[in-house]
Amino acid sequence: MQLIPQVPPDVLYHGTGHKSVASIIEAGLCKMSGHHVHLSVDIITAQKVGGRHVKPVVFVVNTVKMQKQGFTFYWSDNGVWLVDSVPPQYLKILANER
């Protein structure tokens, strides 16, 4: 997959199931068996992704701070933002999710 680094929006979103929240708060988002962490440009898409689980939770990703720290983001052809990882200090749970 040929990816070209891109400047993302100021915030992106990641949807997951409620069972993953504690580990994400502790360790951040890791690519696991995939090539990258997948991030969405809008809350609705992130909720749909998280909706594959019993109780979806959406995290807000502060991409501005991440870029300042040297993280590289990519825009994929299927409309998903990609990054190698998101450490926990760049994440917060969307306010209406708790």
pLDDT in tens, the chain (98 residues): 678 999 999 999 999 999 999 999 999 999 877 789 999 999 999 999 988 767 889 999 999 999 999 999 999 988 899 999 999 999 999 976 44
Phi/psi of residue 4, nearest 5 degrees: -110, 130
The reported pTM is 0.90
Domain ranges of the chain: 17-84
Look up residue 12 and give its two tokens. Answer: 């992106």
Pair 83, 39: CB distance under 8 Å: yes
Look up residue 72 and give its two tokens. Answer: 């590289």
